[in-house]
């Protein structure tokens, strides 16, 4: 999924290309939309088996091909029904209170899962770096303290939802959680901010392998974090 900066860069490039070829300047852009102005499932940058033993192959396959695809399909149905084609995902989230529950649940589901796949990589990476490392030290003293605070939020989220590490507009890091497929970019979120880390704690994310042991899944998940992506999120 592209961040806003990439989007603007890509748009400028594409607009330049179109002008270059005399195709005209009026172009409908939408960051994650395809040419039909509908959303699509992003490519997974690793295989379903790649996150073993922390997340099992079958869970990954079902989670990506059924759950995430389902959010994309239902988001597109809602976008067409509500004549919102061409509105970007971030715009939908930022004004989600103006739209239907179908938009809230499925725009959230599409954003959250796209974010989640990208944040993980086989073998993870050892530690946060650069500005993110400094911010963690400033706001949590150390990584262990962040890990504990975040993991507690993930374990204590009642029912289905997500736990987040977010950056607020003043640059401060904090941990929060949201129910269902809500996230901290939504105008209805109690605590708002840019997601830096996020974990899916719906049972579909872990039940086949961990059954009721959500805490074991949360603790294993730290082995998968791509801290380069977390840094990009922090800097976005
Ligand atoms: Mn999920």
Question: What CATH number does the domain containing 59 carry?
Answer: 1.10.287.990
Ligand 1 centroid–CA 232 distance in Å is 22
- Judge if 32 and 90 occupy the same domain: yes
CATH number at residue 167: 3.55.40.20
Check whether residue 150 and residue 78 sit in a common domain.
no
Find the 204 Cα to ligand 1 centroid distance in Å: 6
Q: Give distance in angstroms: CA of 200 to centre of ligand 1.
A: 6
Please give the Cα distance from 74 to 103 (Å, whole number).
8
Same domain, 138 and 94: no
- DSSP codes of every residue in the chain: ---HHHHHHHHHHHHHHHHHTT--S-----TTB-TTS-B-PPPPSS-TTTTTTTS-HHHHHHIIIIIIHHHHHHHHHHHHHTT-TT--HHHHHHTGGGS-HHHHHHHHHHHHHHHHHHHB-TT--SS--HHHHHHHHHHHSSHHHHHHHHHHHHHHS-SSEEEEEEE-TTS-EEEEEEETT--TTSTT-SS--EEEEEEE-SGGGTHHHHTT-HHHHHHHHGGGB-HHHHHHHHH-
Q: Count of domains in the chain?
A: 2
Q: Token pair for residue 223?
A: 């082995």
Q: What is the pLDDT of residue 126?
A: 86
- Asked if 136 and 225 sit in the same domain, the reply is yes
Ligand 1 midpoint to CA 209 (Å): 15
Q: Looking at the domain assignment, is residue 153 inside a domain? A: yes
Q: Is 124 inside any structural domain?
A: no
Q: How far is the CA of 117 from the centre of ligand 1 (A)?
A: 10
Q: Give yes or no: residues 103 and 9 share one domain.
A: yes
- The pair of structure tokens assigned to 197 is 């880390």
* Residues 157 and 219 reside in one and the same domain: yes
Residues 7 and 113 in one domain: yes
Q: What is the pLDDT of residue 38?
A: 95
Indicate if 35 and 90 belong to the same structural domain: yes
In a shared domain, residues 108 and 174 = no
Evaluate whether 111 touches 122 at the Cβ level (below 8 Å).
no
In a domain, 13, yes or no: yes
- Residues 93 and 8 reside in one and the same domain: yes
CA proximity to 29, closest of 12, 53, 44, 45: 12
pLDDT, residue 116, reads: 98
Distance 17 CA to ligand 1 centre (A): 38
Q: What is the pLDDT along the chain (236 residues), one digit of tens a residue?
A: 444 444 444 443 333 323 322 232 223 333 455 557 899 999 999 999 999 999 999 999 999 999 999 999 999 999 999 999 999 999 999 999 999 999 999 999 999 999 999 999 999 998 999 999 999 999 999 999 999 999 999 999 999 999 999 999 999 999 999 999 999 999 999 999 999 999 999 999 999 999 999 999 999 999 999 999 999 999 99
Residue 36: predicted pLDDT = 78
Residue-number span of the structural domain to which 196 is assigned: 130-235
Measure 113 CA to ligand 1 centroid, in angstroms: 6
Selection from 204, 223, 211 nearest residue 151 by Cα: 223
Residue 125 lies in a domain: no
Tell me, in angstroms, the distance from the centre of ligand 1 to residue 72's CA: 12
Residue 37: its pLDDT value, please? 87
> How close is the Cα of 202 to the center of ligand 1, in Å?
6
Task: Specify the pTM.
Answer: 0.86
């Amino acid at each position: 999924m592209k961040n806003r900066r990439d989007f603007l860069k890509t748009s400028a490039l594409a607009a330049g290309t179109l002008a270059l070829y005399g195709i005209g300047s009026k172009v409908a852009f939408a960051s994650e939309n395809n040419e039909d102005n509908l959303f699509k499932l992003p490519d997974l940058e690793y295989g379903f088996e790649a996150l073993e033993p922390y997340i099992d192959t079958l869970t990954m396959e079902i989670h990506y091909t059924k759950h995430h695809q389902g959010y994309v399909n239902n988001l597109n149905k809602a976008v067409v029904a509500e004549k919102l084609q061409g509105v970007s995902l971030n715009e939908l989230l930022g004004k989600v209170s103006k739209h239907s529950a179908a938009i809230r649940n499925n725009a959230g589901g599409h954003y959250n899962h796209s974010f989640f796949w990208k944040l993980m990589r086989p073998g993870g990476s050892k530690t946060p770096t650069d500005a993110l490392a400094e911010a963690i030290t400033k706001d949590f003293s150390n990584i262990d303290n962040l890990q504990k605070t975040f993991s507690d939020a993930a374990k204590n989220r009642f029912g289905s939802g997500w736990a987040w590490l977010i950056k607020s507009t003043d640059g401060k890091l904090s941990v929060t959680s949201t129910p269902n497929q809500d996230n901290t970019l939504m105008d209805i979120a109690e605590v708002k901010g840019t997601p830096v880390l996020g974990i899916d704690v719906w049972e579909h994310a872990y039940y086949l392998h961990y059954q009721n042991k959500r805490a074991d899944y949360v603790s294993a998940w730290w082995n998968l974090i791509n801290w380069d992506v977390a840094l990009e999120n922090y800097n976005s």
